[in-house]
Structure 1
Amino acid sequence: MLKTYAWVCLLLTLTTVSYAQDKPELHVGGALRFNYNLSTWKDAQKKRGGDFGYDVFRINAKAKYKGVKLNAEYRLYSPGFGGGMLKQGWFGYDFNDKNNLQLGLTQVPFGITQYNSHTWFFSINYYVGLEDDHDMGVKYTHIGEQWEYALAFFKNAEELRFGNNSDIDDGRYSYDIASKDWDGDGELDLRNKEINQVNGKLSYKFGSETRKNKLGISAEYGGVYNLDTESISPRYAFAIHYELTAGPLNLKAQISTYKITTDGLIGEPTDIIAMTAYGYPYFVAAAATSYTLGISYDIPVSWGPVSNLQLYNDFGFLDKTVTRFEDTFMNVTGVLVTAGNIYSYFDFAAGKNQPWLNPDFDHSLAEGSSVTNQWEARFNINFGYYF
Structure 2
Amino acid sequence: MLKTTSSSLLLVMLFTFMSGDSSFAQEDPELKIGGALRFNYNLSSWKDGQKDRGGDFGYDMFRVNVNGSYQGIYIDAEYRLYSRSFGGGFLKQGWLGYRFNEKEEIQVGLTQVPFGIQQYNSHNWFFNLTYYFGLEDDHDMGVKYVHIDDKFEYNLAFFKNAEELRFGGTSEVSPDRYSYDVVGRNKEVNQFNGKLIYKFGDSIKNRLGTSVQYGGLYNLDTEKTGTHYGLALHYEMFYKNWNVKLQAMNIDHDPENLPGESREIIKMGAYGFPYEVASDFNIYTIAISKSIPVELGPISNIQFYNDFGYQDKKVDNFEDSFMNVTGMLITVGQVYTYVDYAAGYNQSWLGGNFVDDFSTGNPDAKWEARFNINIGYYF
TM range (shorter): over 0.9
Q: Deviations over 1:281-338 (max 9, x none)?
A: 0000000000000000000001121100000000110000001000001000000000
Q: Is the 8 A contact 2:17 2:106 kept in 1?
A: no
Is 2:173 aligned against 1:168?
Answer: yes
* 1:197 aligned partner: 191
* 1:64 aligned partner: 69
Where in structure 2 are the equivalents of 1:147-186 lying within 5 Å? 147-179=152-184
Amino acid at match of 1:202: L
Where in structure 2 are the equivalents of 1:25-44 lying within 5 Å? 25-44=30-49
Deviation, structure 1 residue 228: 0.5
Q: Is the 8 A contact 2:64 2:79 kept in 1?
A: yes
- Provide the rounded CA distance (Å) in 1 between the counterparts of 2:17 and 2:156: 17
* 1:54 aligned partner: 59
Equivalent of residue 336 in structure 1, options 311, 329, 332: 329
Where in structure 2 are the equivalents of 1:117-132 lying within 5 Å? 117-132=122-137
* 1:383 aligned partner: 375
Q: Is the 8 A contact 2:346 2:352 kept in 1?
A: no
* 1:229 aligned partner: 222
Deviation, structure 1 residue 3: 3.6
- Provide the rounded CA distance (Å) in 2 between the counterparts of 1:344 and 1:13: 39
Q: Which sections of structure 2, spanning at least 5 residues, go unmatched?
A: none
Q: Is the 8 A contact 1:260 1:286 kept in 2?
A: yes
Amino acid at match of 2:344: G
Equivalent of residue 238 in structure 2, options 245, 248, 252: 245
Q: Is the 8 A contact 1:3 1:153 kept in 2?
A: no
> How high is the TM-score relative to the length of structure 2?
0.97
Equivalent of residue 290 in structure 2, options 279, 294, 297: 297
Deviation, structure 1 residue 13: 4.4
Q: Deviations over 1:60-96 (max 9, x none)?
A: 0001000001000000000010000100000000011
* 2:340 aligned partner: 347
- SS of residue paired to 2:40: strand
Is 2:208 aligned against 1:215?
Answer: yes
Deviation, structure 1 residue 15: 3.5
> How high is the TM-score relative to the length of structure 1?
0.95
Deviation, structure 1 residue 264: 1.2
- SS of residue paired to 1:205: strand
Q: Please, what is the CA RMSD of the aligned residues? A: 1.1
Deviation, structure 1 residue 16: 5.5
- Provide the rounded CA distance (Å) in 1 between the counterparts of 2:176 and 2:356: 20
Equivalent of residue 94 in structure 1, options 91, 99, 119: 99
Equivalent of residue 306 in structure 2, options 310, 313, 329: 313
- Provide the rounded CA distance (Å) in 1 between the counterparts of 2:175 and 2:200: 41
Cα 1:13–1:335 shift into 2, 3 Å: closer
- Provide the rounded CA distance (Å) in 2 between the counterparts of 1:48 and 1:275: 32
Deviation, structure 1 residue 176: 0.3
Cα 1:262–1:29 shift into 2, 3 Å: same
- Provide the rounded CA distance (Å) in 1 between the counterparts of 2:115 and 2:165: 24
* 1:269 aligned partner: 262
Amino acid at match of 1:197: Q
Cα 1:172–1:248 shift into 2, 3 Å: same
Deviation, structure 1 residue 262: 1.1
Amino acid at match of 1:270: R
- SS of residue paired to 1:224: strand
Is 2:373 aligned against 1:369?
Answer: no
What is the count of residue pairs matched by the alignment? 374
* 1:114 aligned partner: 119
Q: Deviations over 1:5-29 (max 9, x none)?
A: 3433433442453244121000000
Amino acid at match of 1:106: T
Where in structure 2 are the equivalents of 1:76-87 lying within 5 Å? 76-87=81-92
Q: Which sections of structure 1, spanning at least 5 residues, go unmatched?
A: 180-190
- SS of residue paired to 2:122: coil
Deviation, structure 1 residue 170: 1.3
- SS of residue paired to 1:366: coil
Amino acid at match of 1:199: N
- Provide the rounded CA distance (Å) in 1 between the counterparts of 2:19 and 2:315: 51
- Provide the rounded CA distance (Å) in 2 between the counterparts of 1:56 and 1:108: 23
Percentage of matched positions with identical amino acids: 58
- SS of residue paired to 2:15: helix
- SS of residue paired to 2:81: strand
* 1:186 aligned partner: none
- SS of residue paired to 2:375: strand
- Provide the rounded CA distance (Å) in 1 between the counterparts of 2:159 and 2:30: 28
